[in-house]
Structure 1
Amino acid sequence: MPRIALCQLNSGDDAEANLDSVRTEVARAAARGARVVVFPEATMVRFGRPLAPIAEPLDGPWASAVAETAREHDVLVVAGMFTPSGDGRVRNTLLVTGLGKHLGYDKIHLYDAFGFAESETVAAGSHLVTFEAEGTVFGVATCYDLRFPELFRCLADDGADVVLVPASWGAGAGKREQWELLVRARALDSGCWVLACDQADPAATGLEVNPKSPTGIGHSMVADGFGRVTAALGPAPETLLADVGAAEAIHARGVTGVLANQRLSGGPVGRLG
């Protein structure tokens, strides 16, 4: 049962300063027994600034420095960064590094909603990512991916018992309620633990809020396979630690039957017409 840290922070415009924050928070989390340390989407730099000039590959300086930090503290780190896409845009990538891993997940569902057009500057990914660490199979998803239950079902079908969801959730009327509902719903309809790590709310620490960019609302949270919230944070920068494991997810799926009884994903139900 690995201990997982959700490090809710505010990313700024300076990738090097944000890297220093990662180093500091990894050291603190490891000292508290964390084996997996999760940071928000856009940890490398916040949204609301040009992304192409700072995008780097997974073997570039920024990701390599995070990998070295993970090795130093013998943990696995998940953090949002931006990698080149090859068409002038970037990919919104989750770096997964440490404990013998170094890979990335490119966000599949882009945030073309609520007046924001992520696809103008970001190219969509196309592959799910699961990996094993500390005897547990993890899946990963990013922010707007939360609105698509089939992604979480697919991760569970691929063996995930825990899904990590870094985010930089957009603020606005009803958005906190949607965030909390969606985290719980994705846990319930996949039977997985869902651990969602959001950017802290800039307003909570006196930082300027960019109304045209999703820069976080805080309220990182942990939900079990029954959709119950077992831990949550407020809007300000803070770290949450949670001990989760496969046994609880297996139990939840056994009770609810959410994978065994599904019929619209490769099951026997066809379509008319």
Structure 2
Amino acid sequence: MKIALLHLNLSGGPQEKNLEVLCKSIKMAANSGAKWILTPEMALQGYFFTQLGREYVWEKEITNIIQPVLDLAKELQVTVFLGCGELDHDDGKKYNSCLIIDTKGEIIDKHRKLKIVGSATEGWSTAGKRLTCLRYEGVSIGVLVCADAWYGENGAQLGEMGAELILVIAAWPPGCGGPPEKAWERCSKMSGGRPVIVCNQTGNTRGMNCFIAKSAAIIDGELKFSYQGEAAILMMDFNKKEKVFTSTQFNIISFT
């Protein structure tokens, strides 16, 4: 199975532009054979969306915003792991989430970031309450958002929950809380050696230099291959039966 990582410049937004970029890149990934498509953390609004002087109006239903992505998932028969901020209309709180969108264009599950970074950039969000592990297309998938992967106990618990693959969406360059590669390797190791795939992002907004941020593939506690640099769609192969990578490097598709 081909998995695509959308290693894109999205942190500055605005949402309307990001949505266009996401739809274009999802189409490109699907046309290249991807079945699962990962976006970075906060790919919809942009990681710094509250810090750039633009008013943001929250929708009670996230589907009102992301309908184009839902439609594409159904049309192209792909699964999308979408990073976005969402308002929970039941508790009135806002969350930094990864939505899992299936090939019917439906949100089948979500992971809400557990470890909120103590800065104004994430001050709008509330910490999630649970780890997410779901059985999907023959694979038990654990999902984490960025700093969640720093805490080895999250990897360990996902392993105990039966996760066979851990997906991490991120906005995490070096220097933000320490070397992220070490955290990802620790996450894999403490999960029992499970494969970990990290979709990071590029660009430089408010001094956060993601041109040096890596998207990566890790297994058995060891980083196997990675990418950093300009915006690109990163293609890789994963054997769903054996639960291992069959790629030794990313196939890089330039995105402009």
- State the TM-score, normalized to the length of structure 1: 0.77
Q: Which whole-Å CA distance do the structure 2 matches of 1:74 and 1:231 have between them?
A: 27
SS of the residue aligned with 1:141? strand
Q: Which has the higher strand share?
A: 2
1:133 is aligned, of 136, 142, 158, to 136
SS of the residue aligned with 1:123? coil
Distance change in 2, residues 1:55/1:96 (3 Å):
farther
**Equivalent residue runs for 1:32-47 within 5 Å:** 32-47=32-47
Report the counterpart of residue 222 of structure 1 in structure 2: 217
SS of the residue aligned with 1:244? strand
Aligned amino acid, residue 31 of structure 1: N
**Equivalent residue runs for 1:94-243 within 5 Å:** 94-100=98-104, 101-102=106-107, 103-112=109-118, 116-117=119-120, 120-170=123-173, 172=175, 175=178, 178-190=179-191, 191-202=193-204, 209-211=205-207, 217-224=212-219, 226-243=220-237
Q: Can you list the C-alpha shifts for 1:177-205, whole angstroms capped at 9, x where unaligned?
A: x1111112211221211111111133xxx
Q: Which whole-Å CA distance do the structure 1 matches of 2:114 and 2:177 have between them?
A: 24
Q: Which whole-Å CA distance do the structure 2 matches of 1:57 and 1:248 have between them?
A: 41
1:67 maps to 2:70 = yes
- State the TM-score, normalized to the length of structure 2: 0.81
Distance change in 2, residues 1:146/1:153 (3 Å):
same
Q: Which whole-Å CA distance do the structure 1 matches of 2:120 and 2:100 have between them?
A: 26
Q: Which runs of 4+ in 1 moved over 3 A?
A: 54-59, 85-89, 170-175, 213-217, 245-250
Aligned amino acid, residue 242 of structure 1: M
Structure 1 residues without counterparts, runs of 5 or longer: 203-208, 251-273
Report the counterpart of residue 95 of structure 2 in structure 1: 91
1:4 maps to 2:7 = no
SS of the residue aligned with 2:199? strand
Structure 2 residues without counterparts, runs of 5 or longer: 245-256
Whether the aligned pair in 1 keeps the contact of 2:74 and 2:102 (CA below 8 Å) is: yes
Give the alignment's Cα RMSD to 1 decimal.
Answer: 2.6
Aligned length: 236
Q: Which whole-Å CA distance do the structure 2 matches of 1:223 and 1:46 have between them?
A: 26
Whether the aligned pair in 1 keeps the contact of 2:173 and 2:180 (CA below 8 Å) is: no
Larger Rg: 1
Q: How far is the alpha carbon of 1:23 from its aligned partner?
A: 1.1
Distance change in 2, residues 1:13/1:118 (3 Å):
closer
Whether the aligned pair in 1 keeps the contact of 2:61 and 2:87 (CA below 8 Å) is: no
Identity within the alignment, %: 25
Aligned amino acid, residue 74 of structure 1: Q
